[in-house]
């Protein structure tokens, strides 16, 4: 038995495999190579477009480029910080850092959101670590107070945020090129130094209690921002089998079923958010997804994930962008809605009590 101080419940090398049984139908997602994207490989770029016009989800092979390696190693280091926070800090201390007053950074305790019309409570804890505060120069003012554990690891969160943001923008560059959109239209709305809702989300879901109970950890949602870089080690994430471009309702609005997304070692899971649907007038899809406890034997382990949300800068304007592959829309020549306001509206549409919980969803 390891000594209490070295004990860890995050032990990827010991996890049982994802069950191969028809009881757990999985989704087939394309695998895209970050290396090839960065080398402007034409066939790979076409596959990125196809994946984003379809489900809006794909695996990204991170091996090779420096940013990919930063995510691969960094995600495990981030989970170790998450584990110390989630399992080591008393609840009343954690609640001092709760998300509140429309600020989406900080702690969300288990059960603070409703996952269905019956009012069932969620089963996941998160901690949203804001990008701007982590990349801030020492001594610069911050958007909020952070626990010492997070501040002690500021360089880790800064490096992780920069790498994930950079990867997200490289994918957005590809999509812009393929759709004939001026890449600057997207880049200028996602400058890393500008204030934005970008954050690293640390999540912990407890082990499954029973085989039958759904125990929803994160209810059905589409991400609000532009693009998401997700690292997870255990099953639990599911995508809705049919793509839908409508935003905002808790339940899927087209017939289909939930399909499991099998974690793939060495790969991130990339998905588009609602801002990308807006920018492209619905040409691209923000896939609907949710998280339930891991299947089969995997469900005996607590489940951690590390999510980076790339979002438009707070003061950016959201509207359909001009491009040869984008059908014209009424809002193209309008000023567009302020990103900060857009996120707030999306959160409210999802029935959130506070903005924070439901960027959350
Ligand atoms: O934990 C996961 O695998 C996905 C989490 C997620 O979808 C989210 O936090 O938006
Ligand atoms: Fe999500």
Residue nearest to atom 9 of ligand 1 (CA): 307
The residue among 208 and 146 whose pLDDT is bigger is: 146
Please say if the pLDDT value at position 249 is more than 60. Answer: no
289 CA from centroid of ligand 2 (Å): 6
Enter the ipTM.
Answer: 0.99
Cβ of 230 below 6 Å from ligand 1: yes
232 CA from centroid of ligand 1 (Å): 9
Q: Work out the number of other CB atoms within 10 angstroms of the CB of residue 85.
A: 21
Q: Work out the number of other CB atoms within 10 angstroms of the CB of residue 165.
A: 24
Question: What average pLDDT does the structure give for the chain?
Answer: 90
pTM, whole model, 2 decimals?
0.94
- Confidence tier at 247 by pLDDT (50, 70, 90): low
Q: What is the mean pLDDT of residues 214-231?
A: 91
Structural domains of the chain, ranges and CATH numbers in brackets: 26-356 (2.60.120.330)
Point out the least confidently predicted range of 24-33, 155-164, 213-222.
213-222
Q: Which ligand is nearest to the CA of 199?
A: 1
289 CA from centroid of ligand 1 (Å): 8
Q: Work out the number of other CB atoms within 10 angstroms of the CB of residue 241.
A: 16
Atom of ligand 1 nearest to the CA of 307: 9
Q: What is the pLDDT of residue 343?
A: 80
Q: Give the residues across from 148 on adjacent strands.
A: none
Point out the least confidently predicted range of 2-6, 83-87, 123-127, 193-197.
2-6
- Confidence tier at 6 by pLDDT (50, 70, 90): low
Residue nearest to atom 10 of ligand 1 (CA): 223
The residue among 45 and 245 whose pLDDT is bigger is: 45
Rounded Cα distance between 137 and 207, Å, is: 39
218 CA from centroid of ligand 1 (Å): 7
Cβ of 223 below 6 Å from ligand 1: yes
- Residue to probe by mutation, ligand 1, list 29, 86, 104, 203, most atoms within 8 Å of CB: 203
Given a contact cutoff of 8 angstroms between Cβ atoms, the answer to whether 308 and 289 are in contact is no
- Residue to probe by mutation, ligand 1, list 26, 124, 237, most atoms within 8 Å of CB: 237
306 CA from centroid of ligand 1 (Å): 8
Given a contact cutoff of 8 angstroms between Cβ atoms, the answer to whether 181 and 52 are in contact is no
- Confidence tier at 358 by pLDDT (50, 70, 90): very low
Cβ of 218 below 6 Å from ligand 1: yes
> How does pLDDT run across 263-315, given as a tens digit for each residue?
999 999 999 999 999 999 999 999 999 999 999 999 999 999 999 999 999 99
2 CA from centroid of ligand 1 (Å): 30
By residue count, the chain amounts to 361
Instruction: Map residue 201 onto helix, strand or coil.
Output: strand
The secondary structure element, H or E, covering residue 68 is helix 66-88
The residue among 297 and 3 whose pLDDT is bigger is: 297
170 CB-near residues (< 8 Å, 6+ apart): 34, 37, 38
The residue among 177 and 121 whose pLDDT is bigger is: 177
- Confidence tier at 356 by pLDDT (50, 70, 90): very low
> In terms of C-beta density within 10 A (0-12 exposed, 13-18 middle, 19 or more buried), how is residue 22 classed?
exposed
* Percentage with pLDDT > 90 across the chain: 77
307 CA from centroid of ligand 1 (Å): 6
Q: Quick one: CA torsion of 69, 71, 75, 81, rounded to 10 degrees?
A: 100
Q: What is the pLDDT of residue 206?
A: 93
Residue nearest to atom 1 of ligand 1 (CA): 305
Helix, strand, coil share of the chain (percent; to 5): 30, 20, 50
* Alpha-carbon distance values, 12 to 15, 232, 294, 304 (Å): 5, 10, 13, 10
Q: Give the residues across from 107 on adjacent strands.
A: 98, 127
């Amino acid at each position: 038995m390891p000594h209490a101080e070295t004990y860890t419940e995050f032990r990827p090398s010991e996890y049982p495999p994802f069950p191969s049984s028809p009881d757990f139908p999985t989704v087939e997602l394309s695998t895209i190579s970050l290396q090839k994207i960065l080398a402007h490989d034409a066939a790979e770029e076409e596959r990125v477009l196809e994946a984003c016009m379809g489900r809006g989800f794909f695996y990204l092979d991170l091996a090779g480029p420096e940013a990919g390696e930063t995510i691969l190693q960094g995600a495990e280091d981030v989970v170790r910080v998450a584990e110390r926070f989630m399992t080591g800090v008393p609840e009343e201390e954690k609640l001092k850092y709760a998300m509140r007053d429309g600020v989406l950074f900080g702690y969300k305790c288990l059960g603070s959101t409703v996952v269905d019309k019956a009012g069932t409570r969620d089963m996941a804890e998160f901690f949203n670590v804001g990008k701007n505060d982590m990349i801030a120069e020492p001594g610069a003012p911050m958007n909020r107070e952070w626990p010492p554990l997070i501040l002690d690891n500021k360089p880790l969160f800064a490096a992780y945020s920069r790498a994930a943001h950079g990867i997200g923008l490289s994918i957005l560059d590809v999509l812009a090129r393929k759709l004939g959109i001026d890449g600057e239209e997207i880049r200028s709305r996602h400058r890393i130094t500008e204030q934005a809702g970008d954050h690293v989300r640390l999540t912990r879901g407890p082990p499954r209690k029973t085989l039958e109970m759904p125990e929803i950890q994160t209810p059905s949602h589409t991400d609000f921002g532009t693009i998401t870089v997700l690292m997870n080690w255990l099953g639990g994430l599911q995508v809705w089998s049919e793509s839908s471009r409508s935003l905002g309702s808790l339940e899927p609005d087209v017939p289909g079923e939930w399909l499991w997304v099998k974690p793939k070692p060495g790969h991130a899971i990339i998905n588009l958010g609602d801002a990308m649907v807006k920018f492209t007038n619905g040409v691209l899809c923000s896939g609907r997804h949710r998280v339930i406890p891991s299947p089969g034997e995997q469900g005996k382990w607590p489940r951690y994930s590390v999510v980076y949300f790339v979002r438009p800068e707070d003061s950016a304007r959201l509207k359909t962008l001009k491009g040869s592959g984008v059908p014209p829309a009424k809002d193209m020549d309008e000023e567009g809605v302020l990103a900060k306001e857009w996120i707030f509206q999306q959160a409210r549409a999802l029935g959130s009590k506070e903005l924070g919980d439901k960027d959350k969803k």
